[in-house]
Amino acid sequence: MHLELPKVRLESLKDFAKHYLMIVLSILTALGLEAWIEHVHHTEAAEVAEARMNRELRADLDDIDQSLSKNRGALAKLLELEKRVRADVAAGQTEAQVNADIHAHRELFALNLNFPTLATDAWDVAVANQSVGWIDAPTLQRYSSAYSSVRELASWIQHDAVLLFNGPRMVDYLTDLQLGNPVVPREFLYEVRQMITTINSTQGELGSLHDELHKDLGLPPAPAG
């Protein structure tokens, strides 16, 4: 801030007081204007950050809905296969008969697990340029909660999503089915159940994040997917 002081001759105490008051008012006006400009800048930066985070979180939500829908399709196929094999075993069919049914419906044996692409770039940028500090506290809390949930799911997908089933064994079964080799029905059922449990677990995690984002974005409750 720079002030250009007027060059006048002070001939009395009254002139000095008037001149002093003018200087003080000039300084206060300049400081007020500077603070107003800074406030406007902060407000605009916060609005831009909020708009970007809203778009990003809504895109994340759309990806979650798509994953939920695709996973439901994969789950339905595995449940149908499990139902068939369980019925065959319960009916006392021979291993050869059960294998014939399994091979006739081998296209149902597929995990096809779908995960959303979860972005956090808008939040990272807002933190980096400090615009999160200019968002009001309640709104900031909602965004913080939303992105925390997104990061938790991303970590779960990376580390824990497929811990409930035997991946190498699933590949072995896929190979046997492709080659027409017989499988042991009970052990095959174990693998199918593991795959079903994995999808159910994934759907539960995705559903929780779906509900959390709806709440944090201030959207009305909606059925997942």
Question: pLDDT for 149-203, tens place per residue?
Answer: 999 999 999 888 888 889 999 999 999 999 999 999 999 999 999 999 999 999 9
Q: What is the mean pLDDT of the chain?
A: 86
User: Out of 52-56, 108-112, 149-153, 161-165, which region has the weakest mean confidence (pLDDT)?
Assistant: 161-165
**Confidence at residue 45, expressed as pLDDT on a 0 to 100 scale:** 81
Establish if 223 belongs to a structural domain. Answer: no
Establish if 3 belongs to a structural domain. Answer: no
Give the confidence band of 91 by pLDDT, cuts at 50, 70, 90: very high
Give the confidence band of 17 by pLDDT, cuts at 50, 70, 90: low
Provide the token pair at 208: 């929780």
User: Out of 41-50, 104-113, 121-130, 215-224, which region has the weakest mean confidence (pLDDT)?
Assistant: 215-224
Establish if 28 belongs to a structural domain. Answer: yes
**Neighbour count for residue 105 (Cβ, 10 Å):** 15
Counting the structural domains of the chain, the total is: 1
Burial of 48 (0-12, 13-18, 19+ CB in 10 A): middle
The pLDDT > 90 percentage for the chain reads 67
Establish if 7 belongs to a structural domain. Answer: no
**Confidence at residue 222, expressed as pLDDT on a 0 to 100 scale:** 67
**Confidence at residue 220, expressed as pLDDT on a 0 to 100 scale:** 75
Sequence-ordered alpha helix ranges (H) in 91-184: 95-104, 121-128, 137-159, 167-179
Establish if 224 belongs to a structural domain. Answer: no
Establish if 225 belongs to a structural domain. Answer: no
The arithmetic mean of pLDDT across residues 53-65, rounded, is 95
Establish if 116 belongs to a structural domain. Answer: yes
For residue 71, give its domain range. Answer: 13-216
Establish if 209 belongs to a structural domain. Answer: yes
Q: Is the pLDDT of residue 79 over 50?
A: yes
User: Out of 58-62, 91-95, 191-195, 219-223, which region has the weakest mean confidence (pLDDT)?
Assistant: 219-223
Give the confidence band of 36 by pLDDT, cuts at 50, 70, 90: very low
**Cα–Cα distance, 199 to 208 (Å, whole number):** 14
**Cα–Cα distance, 81 to 103 (Å, whole number):** 10
